[in-house]
């Protein structure tokens, strides 16, 4: 109580979007994130002021969480995007760039914020309902009979993280592994509610990426004193303990225990543990696993009876292990272990990856547990690769709920912008009346929204090239910086790889005014497959979160900071 001090008054900021300091910070944040976007994005090195670990990355989750600002306005946008990333893993940079561009566009224009908010919401509604439609032209239905599109989806994610430093064949290899691991976790034949399995990742440093692999079953640390030559029965019986077997007392309460001299409590407990060991050996258990520590004497006893002992497994592997083996964790020491608590593995083998030697547990039947061994040349790249594989796994899982993907390479954004422009031109009077603003205000608001979308698409370009949009399908194209003449034939394919340039097509630069048109549908019977795909679920949510966050930021009129 003596340290009670009077509270200091709060610091207030009126109209934050008119504040130059905040605007500069917003611009800086946008530039940082823009330069990281896409496969050719520039990397950022994050290191702290006390000489800590240096992280090289272009991932939004790492970047945004390391950007700390004293300005709550910046933090508000930051946490919104980070929350999106923590739910969907993907499209964080897209959401952030779109949100910041939209704020900037509205700020630059003379449009009132309250009108901009209404129009943004209206335009977002147009986009989301279009993306949900059956005849949506920037959406691809995923076919689980072929892994082609799944691999493309995985590859788009992995190649969008240049900090992994992967060559083209390496990217393909990792993409295939990611899809393979994902498919292993989906149970083949289980009626009713399907529960997906787990991918356990084992990172191995110093090896070529191409030696990464996916194995069914689980890898655990190699136990000591395992002789190789021994022939083991098939299948092996397994017991799993979740309680400590180190000889400590289980929870007795808060009271005091008085031990009289001459009583050897330790040996009594050890005797109990050995009794347990005897029981296990009699039941012909060949693999004895404990989450915590096992008393050395018990270990010795078990080994001498030909049982393989694995201790200190850790809580993380307990659930996959009991799923794999079918064993139920035991935590009682005094009662007979029920027969159904025992589990089985088909086989054990010893595997070597670089410096690591591990015990491979193979499942008896079909199992949804698999292990992914990721190899890379150094620690930093390996960390990034690990993150990327987790993101890929998450995105692939999302496709189970909504089996769609969106065209990547900026084509979805340009297409949506063209669609919104076209759609809104047709219902100006009604929409303006509905939103309670004038028709000019409405059209201006829509234009700002579309420009923000196109600006997000344009952010994919980093090498000084220009982004173009074609006036038939409204896909995004890149005009390299070194091409002097703007001829149509040099453009090749569009961003997603679905449209090939033809002499009849017309282009215009992104963010220039063009006469609105209705994007014409593609012929779906062509054998051309898209080369770049984005996650449908993640991108849809990113779009919504970006617009909602921008709307919120535009709505903030006052900031109060508690300085206590």
Q: Tell which positions 37-76 bind other proteins, by CB under 8 A.
A: 72-73, 75-76
Q: Which stretch binds other proteins (CB under 8 A): 34-42, 198-206, 333-341, 365-373?
A: 333-341
Please calculate the CA angle 265-269-270 and round it to the nearest 5 degrees: 115
Smallest gap from Cβ 144 to other proteins, in A, equals 22
The DSSP secondary-structure symbol of 511 reads T
Smallest gap from Cβ 561 to other proteins, in A, equals 5
Please, which residue, 83 or 167, has the CB nearer to other proteins? 83
- Quote the CA–CA distance of 562 and 560 in Å, as a whole number: 7
Please, which residue, 152 or 325, has the CB nearer to other proteins? 325
Token duo for residue 161? 């993280």
Q: Looking only at residues 529 through 558 of this chain, which bind other proteins when binding is defined by CB under 8 A?
A: 541, 544-545, 548-549, 551-552, 554-558
Please, which residue, 11 or 518, has the CB nearer to other proteins? 11
Smallest gap from Cβ 121 to other proteins, in A, equals 5
Among 196, 316, 518, 560, binds other proteins (CB under 8 A): 560
Total site size for other proteins, rule CB under 8 A: 84
Smallest gap from Cβ 550 to other proteins, in A, equals 10
- Quote the CA–CA distance of 497 and 194 in Å, as a whole number: 35
Q: Looking only at residues 335 through 374 of this chain, which bind other proteins when binding is defined by CB under 8 A?
A: 335, 338, 340-341
Please, which residue, 76 or 362, has the CB nearer to other proteins? 76
Smallest gap from Cβ 560 to other proteins, in A, equals 4
- Quote the CA–CA distance of 498 and 107 in Å, as a whole number: 36
SS3 of 548, please? helix
- Determine how β-strand 533-535 pairs with β-strand 507-509: unpaired
- Quote the CA–CA distance of 23 and 14 in Å, as a whole number: 13
Smallest gap from Cβ 140 to other proteins, in A, equals 23
Burial of 145 from C-beta contacts in 10 A (0-12 / 13-18 / 19+): exposed
Binding track over 468-507 against other proteins, x by CB under 8 A: ----------------------------------------
Q: Looking only at residues 215 through 274 of this chain, which bind other proteins when binding is defined by CB under 8 A?
A: 242-243, 249-260, 262-263, 265, 268-269, 271-272
Q: Looking only at residues 74 through 93 of this chain, which bind other proteins when binding is defined by CB under 8 A?
A: 75-76, 79-80, 83-88
Please, which residue, 74 or 213, has the CB nearer to other proteins? 74
Q: For the chain, what is the largest distance between any 2 Cα atoms, rounded to a whole number of angstroms?
A: 100
Please, which residue, 14 or 489, has the CB nearer to other proteins? 14
Binding track over 268-307 against other proteins, x by CB under 8 A: xx-xx-----------------------------------
Please, which residue, 188 or 193, has the CB nearer to other proteins? 193
- Tokens 């790492």 appear where? 62
Token duo for residue 4? 């009670």
Please, which residue, 92 or 495, has the CB nearer to other proteins? 92
- Quote the CA–CA distance of 264 and 388 in Å, as a whole number: 55
Q: Give the containing element (helix H, strand E) for 150.
A: helix 148-159
Q: Looking only at residues 3 through 42 of this chain, which bind other proteins when binding is defined by CB under 8 A?
A: 4, 6-10, 12, 14-16
Q: Looking only at residues 171 through 200 of this chain, which bind other proteins when binding is defined by CB under 8 A?
A: 192-193
Smallest gap from Cβ 241 to other proteins, in A, equals 9
Smallest gap from Cβ 513 to other proteins, in A, equals 28
Please, which residue, 185 or 549, has the CB nearer to other proteins? 549
- Quote the CA–CA distance of 90 and 156 in Å, as a whole number: 11
Please, which residue, 13 or 299, has the CB nearer to other proteins? 13
Please, which residue, 15 or 481, has the CB nearer to other proteins? 15
Token duo for residue 457? 């698409």
Token duo for residue 322? 């009991």
Burial of 69 from C-beta contacts in 10 A (0-12 / 13-18 / 19+): middle
Listed residue (37, 73, 7, 1) closest to 549, CA to CA:
73
The DSSP secondary-structure symbol of 365 reads S
Smallest gap from Cβ 79 to other proteins, in A, equals 5
- Quote the CA–CA distance of 479 and 455 in Å, as a whole number: 16
- Determine how β-strand 236-241 pairs with β-strand 139-141: unpaired
Q: Are 219 and 358 contacting, i.e. CB atoms less than 8 angstroms apart?
A: yes
Smallest gap from Cβ 266 to other proteins, in A, equals 10
Q: Are 93 and 161 contacting, i.e. CB atoms less than 8 angstroms apart?
A: no
Smallest gap from Cβ 412 to other proteins, in A, equals 18
Smallest gap from Cβ 330 to other proteins, in A, equals 6
Burial of 227 from C-beta contacts in 10 A (0-12 / 13-18 / 19+): exposed
- Quote the CA–CA distance of 257 and 348 in Å, as a whole number: 44
SS3 of 507, please? strand
Please, which residue, 340 or 513, has the CB nearer to other proteins? 340
Token duo for residue 12? 């207030």
Enumerate the β-bridge partners of residue 404: 141
Please, which residue, 226 or 243, has the CB nearer to other proteins? 243
Q: Are 328 and 322 contacting, i.e. CB atoms less than 8 angstroms apart?
A: yes
Q: Looking only at residues 313 through 332 of this chain, which bind other proteins when binding is defined by CB under 8 A?
A: 319, 322, 328-332
Binding track over 390-419 against other proteins, x by CB under 8 A: ------------------------------
> How many residues can be counted in the chain?
564
- Quote the CA–CA distance of 74 and 78 in Å, as a whole number: 6
Please, which residue, 332 or 426, has the CB nearer to other proteins? 332
The DSSP secondary-structure symbol of 512 reads S
Smallest gap from Cβ 385 to other proteins, in A, equals 24
- Tokens 């970047």 appear where? 63
Q: Looking only at residues 100 through 159 of this chain, which bind other proteins when binding is defined by CB under 8 A?
A: 112-114, 117-118, 121
């Amino acid at each position: 109580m003596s340290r009670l001090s009077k509270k200091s008054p709060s610091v207030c900021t009126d109209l934050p979007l008119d504040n130059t300091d905040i605007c500069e910070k917003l611009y800086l944040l946008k530039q940082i994130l823009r330069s990281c976007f896409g496969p050719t994005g520039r990397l950022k090195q994050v290191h702290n002021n006390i000489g800590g670990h240096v992280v090289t990355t272009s991932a939004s989750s790492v970047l945004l969480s390391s950007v700390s600002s004293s300005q709550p306005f910046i933090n508000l946008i930051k946490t919104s995007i980070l929350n999106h990333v923590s739910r969907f893993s993907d499209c964080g940079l897209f959401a952030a760039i779109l949100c910041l561009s939209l704020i900037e566009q509205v700020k630059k224009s003379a449009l009132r914020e309250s009108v901009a908010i209404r129009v943004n919401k209206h335009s977002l509604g147009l986009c989301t309902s279009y993306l949900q439609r059956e005849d949506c032209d920037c959406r691809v239905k995923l076919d689980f009979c072929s892994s082609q599109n799944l691999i493309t989806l995985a590859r788009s994610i992995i190649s969008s993280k240049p900090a992994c430093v992967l060559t083209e064949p390496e990217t393909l290899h990792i993409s295939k592994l990611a899809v393979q691991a994902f498919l292993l976790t989906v149970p083949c034949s289980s009626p009713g509610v399907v529960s997906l399995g787990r991918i356990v990742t084992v990172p191995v440093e110093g090896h070529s990426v191409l030696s990464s692999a996916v194995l069914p079953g689980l890898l655990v640390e190699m136990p000591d004193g395992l002789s190789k030559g021994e022939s083991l029965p098939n299948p092996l019986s397994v017991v799993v303990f979740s309680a400590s077997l180190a000889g400590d007392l289980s929870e007795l309460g808060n009271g005091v225990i008085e031990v009289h001299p001459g009583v050897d409590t330790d040996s009594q407990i050890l005797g109990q543990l050995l009794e347990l060991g005897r029981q296990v050996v009699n039941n012909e258990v060949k693999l004895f696993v404990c989450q915590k520590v096992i008393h050395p004497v018990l270990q010795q006893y078990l080994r001498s009876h030909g049982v393989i002992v694995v201790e200190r497994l850790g809580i993380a592997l307990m659930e996959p292990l009991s799923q794999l083996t079918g064993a139920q964790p035991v935590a009682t020491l005094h009662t007979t272990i029920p027969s159904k608590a025992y589990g089985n593995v088909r086989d054990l083998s010893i595997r070597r990856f670089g410096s690591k030697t591990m015990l491979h547990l193979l499942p008896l039947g079909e199992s949804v547990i698999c292990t992914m061994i990721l190899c890379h040349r150094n620690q930093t790249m390996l960390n990034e690769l690990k993150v990327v594989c987790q993101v890929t796994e998450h995105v692939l899982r999302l496709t189970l709920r909504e089996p769609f993907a969106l065209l990547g390479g900026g084509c979805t954004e340009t297409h949506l912008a063209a669609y919104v422009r076209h759609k809104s031109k047709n219902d100006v009077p009604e929409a303006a009346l509905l939103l309670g603003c004038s028709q000019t205000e409405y059209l201006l608001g829509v234009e700002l929204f579309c420009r923000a979308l196109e600006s997000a698409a344009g952010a994919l370009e980093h090498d000084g090239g220009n982004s173009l949009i074609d006036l038939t399908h409204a896909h995004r194209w890149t005009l390299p910086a070194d091409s002097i003449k703007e001829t149509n034939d040099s453009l090749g394919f569009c961003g997603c790889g679905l449209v090939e340039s033809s002499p009849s097509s017309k282009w215009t630069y992104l963010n220039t005014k063009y006469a609105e048109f209705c994007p014409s549908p593609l012929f779906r019977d062509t054998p051309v497959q898209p080369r770049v795909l984005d996650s449908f679920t993640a991108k849809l949510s990113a779009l919504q979160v970006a617009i909602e966050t921008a709307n919120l930021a535009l709505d903030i009129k006052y900031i109060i900071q508690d300085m206590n």
